[in-house]
Amino acid sequence: MNLDFDVIVVGGGLAGAGLAVGLRATGLKIAVIEANEQGAGARRDTRAYAISPANQKFLSALSIWQHLDTDSVTGVCAMRVFGDAGGAISFSADEAGLAQLAWIVEAGALQAELWATLKRQHNVTLFNPQSVSTLSFDHSGAALTLADGQRLRGRLVVGADGVKSWVRERVGIEARVTAYGETAIVASLRCSRAHRGVAWQWFVDGTVLALLPLPDNHVSMVWSVPDERANELLALEPDWLVARVMEICGDALGALAPAGPTTSFPLRMMRVEEVVRPRLALIGDAAHAVHPLSGHGINLGLQDAQVLADALTALPAWRDPGELAVLRGYARARAEEPLLLQFTTHALQRLFGTRNPFVSALRNTGMNLTERLPVIKSALVRYAAGGRF
């Protein structure tokens, strides 16, 4: 027997869960298939994300933001960025006329809140833990078989299953992956000096070190490092790793101490030629991956979720959610932003990844010049905040 749905979302990460919650006010019948056990498991994600004001609004509209523990959210009121030869630039929310530049949110807390909402949502059926074994399409819909043999049919399948998307591979959409040969080392650190809501970033020696403010005078460290060096750093005892971090950040935040496990993630950029086909849409990292130095990966994914949810919510009941014309509208609306971010973060990664002294002088001078141009700085901040200049 087939279980029939209007929308089948494969992958219940932040993008997939965000889409399903975004469809709460529709009459659509939704299935969410997630391989990893969610709920308590989600809390184990130690990453902290910089959530843009545009996505804070989206999550507020979904009543997710209001329910996050206050001790999992920190407002960023300023950002200080340093080059490797005296370059420096700072951004402040005040200067740009914003309440906050962004919010740092613990990934696990956000995921857990989205899942708590999904579990209560009347038009959602969760298949978890569960994965898909087969996927095929015909003129009237898609047919999926789950690992336990259950058979599902849907009018639209959404691949929200991350950068190595099974759905994308299964339908033969080619992904062009640029591996940076870098690893992000992620850890939570305690600092002895108050961070006052400032996010810090250092571009030093071909690496990018970010310290993002967390509650209770902690910071989330994301240190993007060439693979070979990352292996050495990951082999160190936590105290020694922190000592290496302090060689870069000095006493900007006072003495730092490890405050949790260290994890690591390979860094890559990934592009696809198509994000929609008849009865299929890709969202989140399944559709695009960017270097985390921009702090925008999940911001892109949540915006995909919002745009697709809005498009499906606006459809009259007689329209088919898997219609290509509907999906093309989503693809058009989301064509520019991921590409622009991939281009700029890739260029920044290349600009700061080289040790060429001429390029080093250029990038540090560029930073200092931008620092003296308030109009450009405000435009950059507004773009980061809302996705628009």
Q: Among the candidate windows 12-20, 231-239, 316-324, 356-364, which touches ligand FAD by CB under 6 A? A: 12-20
Q: Site for ligand FAD (CB under 6 A): which residue of 6, 182, 285, 337?
A: 285
> Site for ligand FAD (CB under 6 A): how many residues?
33
DSSP string, 205-239: TTEEEEEEEETTTEEEEEEEEEHHHHHHHHTS-HH
**What's the length of the chain?**
389
Q: Site for ligand FAD (CB under 6 A): which residue of 142, 156, 189, 298?
A: 298
| CA gap 283, 103 in Å, rounded | 22
| CA gap 91, 124 in Å, rounded | 41
299 interacts with ligand FAD by CB under 6 A: yes
| CA gap 74, 218 in Å, rounded | 10
- Secondary structure class of 367 (helix, strand, coil): helix
281 interacts with ligand FAD by CB under 6 A: no
Q: What residues numbered 221-250 form the site for ligand FAD, per CB under 6 A? A: 222
- Which residues make beta-bridge pairs with 32? 9, 126
47 interacts with ligand FAD by CB under 6 A: yes
Contact characters 258-277, ligand FAD, x per CB under 6 A: -------x------------
Tokens 């979720």 belong to residue: 305
Phi, psi of 310 (to 5 degrees): -65, -40
Rg value, the chain, Cα: 21
Q: For strand 276-277 and strand 280-282, is the pairing parallel, antiparallel, or unpaired?
A: antiparallel
Look at residues 316, 383, 353 and name the one whose alpha carbon lies nearest to residue 84: 353
78 interacts with ligand FAD by CB under 6 A: no
Shorter beta-carbon distance to ligand FAD: residue 154 or 364: 154
Tokens matching residue 331: 């693809």
Q: Among the candidate windows 114-122, 159-167, 232-240, 333-341, which touches ligand FAD by CB under 6 A? A: 159-167
Tokens 């080392």 belong to residue: 185
- Which residues make beta-bridge pairs with 220? 188, 212
Contact 38, 111 (CB under 8 A): yes
Q: How far is the CB of 201 from ligand FAD (least distance, A)?
A: 11
295 interacts with ligand FAD by CB under 6 A: yes
Look at residues 5, 39, 50 and name the one whose alpha carbon lies nearest to residue 114: 39
- Which residues make beta-bridge pairs with 268? 179
Shorter beta-carbon distance to ligand FAD: residue 16 or 53: 16
Contact characters 116-155, ligand FAD, x per CB under 6 A: ---------------xx-----------------------
Q: Site for ligand FAD (CB under 6 A): which residue of 9, 13, 114, 309?
A: 13
10 interacts with ligand FAD by CB under 6 A: yes
Q: Site for ligand FAD (CB under 6 A): which residue of 155, 279, 296, 334?
A: 296
Q: How far is the CB of 358 from ligand FAD (least distance, A)?
A: 30
Tokens matching residue 222: 């994301």
Is omega for the bond preceding 129 within 30 degrees of 0, making it cis? yes
15 interacts with ligand FAD by CB under 6 A: yes
Shorter beta-carbon distance to ligand FAD: residue 34 or 337: 34
Task: Please give the residue ranges that form the binding site for ligand FAD (CB under 6 A).
Answer: 10-16, 33-36, 47, 49-50, 131-132, 160-162, 166, 184, 186, 222, 265, 284-285, 292, 295-299, 301
